[in-house]
């Protein structure tokens, strides 16, 4: 078993302080920042399961809340903020900038793992910080909501979609045609949007882990 240090952080961004959980394996070879999806949080069981898999590969993980506690309360009632992609991407960029400037973590190559609307934020952040972001993975992502930023993504990008999630699969096929970077669309057969079927999330973790190891640990990106 790897030695892993766990820390709870408060990340200062331009308009808020965001709660975050850092898991840092000894001799980490990269850092994967999670951007969760609509109505979720850093405590998402699915993302925690994937993060644990990444940690076992020697990748550090940072799971943080894109919304403040007050915003989450409003969003639960109105869904006002979960599709506010400019706000979400701005905050993710702020977290990336904080990491780059951090004495302990700044040397680790950064990958972004986005789910649902968080994937759009990840793609926009990758386009805005091409020197800092070395790889992107989208899980059931609304990559279409990244809009024109798709053309500006330079980091190798993996889009993972469930085969039984036809609308999101169609949107990701369309988005992939706008990407000008190295990219791949991986379809998990029989999986629906949340990858709740047996072994579906494990397949996501393996696909994403291989992508991040190739582009973060082996000098790619």
Could you tell me how far CA 191 lies from the centroid of its own chain? Answer: 19
Beta bridge partners of 35: 114
* pLDDT given at position 14: 84
Q: How many Cα atoms are found within 13 Å in the side-chain-facing hemisphere of 110?
A: 27
- C-alpha 113/C-alpha 119 separation (Å) is 7
- C-alpha 47/C-alpha 36 separation (Å) is 8
Q: How far apart are the first and last CA of the chain?
A: 28
Q: Please check whether residue 20 is in contact with residue 65, taking contact to mean a CB–CB distance below 8 angstroms.
A: yes
- C-alpha 44/C-alpha 39 separation (Å) is 10
Beta bridge partners of 4: 25
Burial of 4 (0-12, 13-18, 19+ CB in 10 A): middle
Q: Is the overall model pTM greater than 0.85, yes or no?
A: yes
Taking only the tens place, the pLDDT of each residue in 175-200 is: 999 999 999 999 999 999 999 999 99
221: pLDDT confidence band, cut at 50, 70 and 90?
very low
Q: Of 67, 45, 66, 174, give the one whose Cα is nearest residue 114.
A: 66
Residue whose entry in the numeric block shows the structure tokens 């082996």: 218
The answer, yes or no, to whether residue 27 has pLDDT greater than 70, is: yes
- C-alpha 2/C-alpha 136 separation (Å) is 25
Taking only the tens place, the pLDDT of each residue in 114-158 is: 999 999 999 999 999 999 999 999 999 999 999 999 999 999 999
Q: Which fold has domain 4-217?
A: Rossmann fold (3.40.50)
* Structure letter (DSSP) for residue 28: -
**217 Cβ contact partners less than 8 Å away, ≥ 6 residues apart:** 29, 30, 58, 59, 109
94: how many CB neighbours lie within 10 A of its CB?
18
The answer, yes or no, to whether residue 219 has pLDDT greater than 60, is: no
Domains of the chain, residue spans? 4-217
Residue whose entry in the numeric block shows the structure tokens 């076992």: 56
The mean pLDDT value for 18-47 works out to 87
- Mean pLDDT estimate for the chain: 92
């Amino acid at each position: 078993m790897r030695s892993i240090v766990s820390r709870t952080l408060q990340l200062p961004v331009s308009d808020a302080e965001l709660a975050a959980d850092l898991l840092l394996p000894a001799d980490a070879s990269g850092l994967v920042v999670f951007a969760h999806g609509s109505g979720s949080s850093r405590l998402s069981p699915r993302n925690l399961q994937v993060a644990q898999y990444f940690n076992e590969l020697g990748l550090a993980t940072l799971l943080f809340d894109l919304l403040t506690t007050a915003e989450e309360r409003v969003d639960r009632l109105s869904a006002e903020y979960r599709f506010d992609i400019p706000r979400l991407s701005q905050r993710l960029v702020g977290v990336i900038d904080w990491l780059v400037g951090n004495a302990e973590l700044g040397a680790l190559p950064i990958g972004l793992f986005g789910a649902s609307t968080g994937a759009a934020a990840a793609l926009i952040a990758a386009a805005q910080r091409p020197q800092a972001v070395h790889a992107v993975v989208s899980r059931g992502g609304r990559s279409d909501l990244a809009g024109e930023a798709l053309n500006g993504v330079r980091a190798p990008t993996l889009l993972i979609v469930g085969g039984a999630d036809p609308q999101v699969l169609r949107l990701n096929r369309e988005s992939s045609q706008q990407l000008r970077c190295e990219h791949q669309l991986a379809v998990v057969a029989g999986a629906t949007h949340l990858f709740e079927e047996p072994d579906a999330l494990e397949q996501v973790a393996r696909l994403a882990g291989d992508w991040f190891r190739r582009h973060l640990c082996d000098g790619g990106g």
